[in-house]
Amino acid sequence: MLYLVIPAMVLLLLFLVPHYWLHLSRAARLVSSIPGPKPLPLIGNTLEFGYGTVDIIANMTRLWKEYGHVFKIWLGPHLFIVVADAKYMEHFLSSNTNITKNMTYGFLEPWLGTGLLTSTGSKWKHHRKIITPTFHFKILEQFVEVFNNSGNVMIQKLKKEVNGGEFDIYNYITLCALDSICETAMGVSMNVQNDGNSEYVSALQGLADLIMKRTFIPWLFPKFIFDRSELGKLQKGYLKILHDTTNKVIADRKRELAEKHNDETSDETFENEIGQKKKLAFLDLLLQYTKGEGNLTDEEIREEVDTFMFEGHDTTASAMSFCLLLLSKNLECQEIAYAELKEIFGNSDREATMKDLQDMKYLECVIKESLRIYPSVPFFARLLDEDVHIDGVHIVKGTNILLSPVFLHRNQSYFPDPEKFDPDRFSAENIQGRNPYVYLPFSAGPRNCIGQKFAMMEMKSTISKVLRNFKLSPGSKEVVLSAELVLRNWGGIFLKLQNRE
């Protein structure tokens, strides 16, 4: 049999390689006017980036400063156009055609399947339509209690750090966000703040770090090679823990719902339960779509729950940690935010309500300015489904577009003195007339972040709790950015705490 297979493979390679080479040559020729570092044969610009997550963002920043707000790089044979210009951002993000995530999102598929983050085409449109109502105001309002409970546990944990030296607050914030997301996404209390060595937490964090490392190692792109590497073996173990946990939660929840409701439970009854503020997790809402043709399978539900777990904890933990760091370094802004909270709560220690969160106008400006300087997702990507003409440049179908909020937000044309922390940039009067594509912490267009209102509520709830209890002052550690699946400060977020009263 081999004597037939080998010649067939050789003939296929002889046909495909020249065809692929011609495609790359044409793609490179058409974007020759876009600046970028000179690529090496086969490996492209891979050696420009180093191997660590700190090296990656440091070298991307170097290239951005050298080549400007639109430049090109090659990762192996793959062409990437890096974009930090509002006109390009609008062109790509507002498109209803070029909505396919690029190949690096495929590295998430063993974990997230083809859920809302990684899918495209009809499946993405169908799931987006189903999931959008789960972020209705009435449903989000019920999560305020969850945020309060998780935040209260964190505050008790932080009290041991009061009047001590500087410490890393990142892990406290991350575990708090995980407690919130476990209960809002899956309807279970994992109590990770009191069990920081949780196998699920370790697997979640380990897999996220692993995927980012793979993104900048082109020889690990092919699944056949990756699966046999050390990273591939680690991933297999992490996936078993994560999927086993989610599958068990789904099975348990389905059994509970089956015992509580018979098959004739109507949509009207379900809506009444929401109206009565019955606490329903994201999973419960998805389980309502398991009946009938065209609705969600158990596997699709797992994909969406895993996606929500991934997108809903690391991003908010990064944003909240950087926000607290910036407030510790900008005491005047910290006191203005605290004065707003005193106006809302007086001298009471009552829990925040949805209305209270809505009244935190200045704190919202603080969070938005923090996300400008340190956007949780520093890069996101698209794979062009069709040729694009922009600024006289022809970019061919199949090109990777790497959109960079972290560089866009530092474009002096849009934000003068971009390194300065100034929440007033987002006051009602200052945002009037601003191009919406100069500020993209939650992306934009058809594939914008579906959970951005959820995230803002959680961030306001948690940060306001910290400010009501503690006065923040900065630690001595400098910011060294690390481009993981979310933006982090290498080594942690260090600050000091004093009691407010």
User: Is residue 401 within 8 Å of 77, Cβ to Cβ?
Assistant: no
Distance from C-alpha of 413 to C-alpha of 438, rounded to nearest angstrom: 9
Bridge partners, residue 389, by sequence: 394
Predicted confidence band of residue 197 (pLDDT cuts 50, 70, 90): low
For the stretch 107-138, pLDDT in tens is 888 888 887 777 777 787 878 887 877 777 67
Mean pLDDT over 148-159 rounds to 96
Instruction: Indicate the range of 273-277, 346-350, 354-358 predicted with least confidence.
Output: 273-277
pLDDT of 101:
65
- Mean of all residue pLDDT scores within the chain: 84
Sheet holding 494-499, edge to edge: 167-168, 494-499, 470-474
Mean pLDDT over 133-146 rounds to 82
Q: Is the pLDDT of residue 40 over 90?
A: no
The amino acid that residue 472 corresponds to is L
User: Is residue 7 within 8 Å of 40, Cβ to Cβ?
Assistant: no
Q: Is the pLDDT of residue 497 over 60?
A: yes
pLDDT of 19:
39
For the stretch 245-266, pLDDT in tens is 888 888 888 888 777 765 544 4
Mean pLDDT over 162-188 rounds to 90
pLDDT of 20:
44
The domain defined by 44-499 folds into Cytochrome p450 (1.10.630)
Cα four-point dihedral sign 464, 467, 470, 476: positive
CB burial of 407-416 (b: ≥16 within 10 Å; e: otherwise) equals bbbbeeebbe
DSSP 185: I
449 is in an annotated binding site: yes
Top mean pLDDT of 23-27, 41-45, 439-443 is at 439-443
Q: Residue 233 class from Cβ within 10 Å (0-12 exposed, 13-18 middle, 19+ buried)?
A: exposed
For the stretch 199-219, pLDDT in tens is 887 888 788 778 877 877 778
Structure token digits, residue 362 = 């200045």
